[in-house]
A and B are shown apart, each in its own frame.
Chain A
Amino acid sequence: MPVEIDAEKCGKIVNCPGEGLCIKVCEQGAIVNENDDPVLIPENCDDCDLCIQSCPNQAISKKS
């Protein structure tokens, strides 16, 4: 099951302490920058969860 990005916690990439770290850390290209928001491409997500543990805003999670 792909991850979910909480837009409210995330804010804009321009304000991200990791400068869009989720996008950089995902080598599957499952998160892309669209108008300064990280947007998930679910079919690319391999559930590795690297983005979850890397996000400085704890904005990425999975439904349990």
Chain B
Amino acid sequence: MVSVEREGEQKRSLSYRKNKCVGCGICSDICPTEALRLGPLVPIARGLVDMDYVNVDKNKCALCGLCASSCPFDAFQFKIDDINIKENELYPKWKSSAEIDEEKCLYCKACETACPRDAITVSRELPDRNKLVSGEIEINEDTCIYCGICDEMCPADAITMNNENIQDPEIIVDKDKCVYCLICKRACPVDAIKAACRSCSYGVYEINPEDADTKGYTFIDNETCVKCGWCQEICPVDAAIVSKPFEGEAIFAEEAECKGESCHACMDICPCNAVSLEDGKSVINPDFCILCGACAKACPQNRIIIKRDKINLENVRSKSWQKQIDKLAGVESK
């Protein structure tokens, strides 16, 4: 939905994208005309009210596009003559990114599980089981009494007994599923099953290494990813590479008291799942923190201070814009 639009020499429009906004307030800190106002952050984060984190004052907005350029989450879309400034080489670009090295990825799905934004999808194709084990199995239908014991016991769900037609029952072994464990053979009360495992009788069975490979594809949705670094930390083979929007640290004001369990505003708003409570006080894990400052804005005690040493926003060509952007560096609390 377009928040502000005007036509002059150019047609300019600014659209707020609620689903991308995390409530960090960088836009309101940076807006040169103070046109952006934050809503009640904690109630919104907790889903108590259905409001936007950011409200745009149409009368104050100068449609400069600084908010859209400096939002690390792409929550503002700014268009000039219907072309997004992301496509315009004159405007700043974030250097932050998150990528998966497909050469290294084992498709273990650890990143998919850990991602606090549900931005990662791993699709994988498992090896054929029947290429990894080898053997023989046969059920003698003349001897079989169709008791179904093998069906119930088979750990691989490879045997199906169907006695719906009591006159003509059937028993089927799915050889794609059978792992030749021989449980069925041992449990059969009438010795109707002949089975042998080739892997066991001849020692380690030689398989084609390619047949054992899990193939797949890991996709990071850049529309929802916040470059928090969870995937990078959790990946057992260092296949995820994340570069964050800011460098620096989040520190706590010593004089302020954390209300811990009573409040936990910081935990609720953090888009990165980087905040936890230890001994009743909130702590921020720097591995996952992106220094967006949402927690500092949400904390009613003003206990959190975001120190940004480096802003990875490149191609800032205007000096006045650079001056505004530099306000994000250094110490900031509320």
Contacts and interface: CB of A to CB of B under 8 A. Distances in A.
Contacts of B259: 46-49
Given A46-B262, A48-B263, A18 B300 contact: no
A41 interface: no
Interface residues of B, number: 12
A50 B42 contact: yes
A28 B261 CA distance: 9
Interface string B266-307: 000000000000000000000000000000000011000000
Contact of A48 (B40, B43, B48, B300): B300
A25 B42 CA distance: 8
A54 B40 contact: yes
Interface in B40-60: 40, 42-43, 46, 48-49
Interface in A1-36: 18-19, 21, 24-25, 27-28
Contacts, number: 42
B40 A49 contact: no
B301 A24 contact: no
Interface in B85-134: none
Nearest to B297: A53
Contacts of A25: 42-43, 46, 48
Contact of A21 (B49, B262, B300): B49
Contacts of B49: 18-19, 21
Contacts of A53: 40, 42, 300
Nearest to B298: A53
B40 A18 contact: yes
Contact of B262 (A18, A19, A24, A48): A48
Given A25-B42, A50-B42, 11 more contacts: A18-B43, A21-B43, A21-B49, A25-B43, A47-B259, A48-B263, A48-B300, A49-B300, A49-B301, A53-B42, A54-B43
Interface of B: 40, 42-43, 46, 48-49, 259, 262-263, 265, 300-301
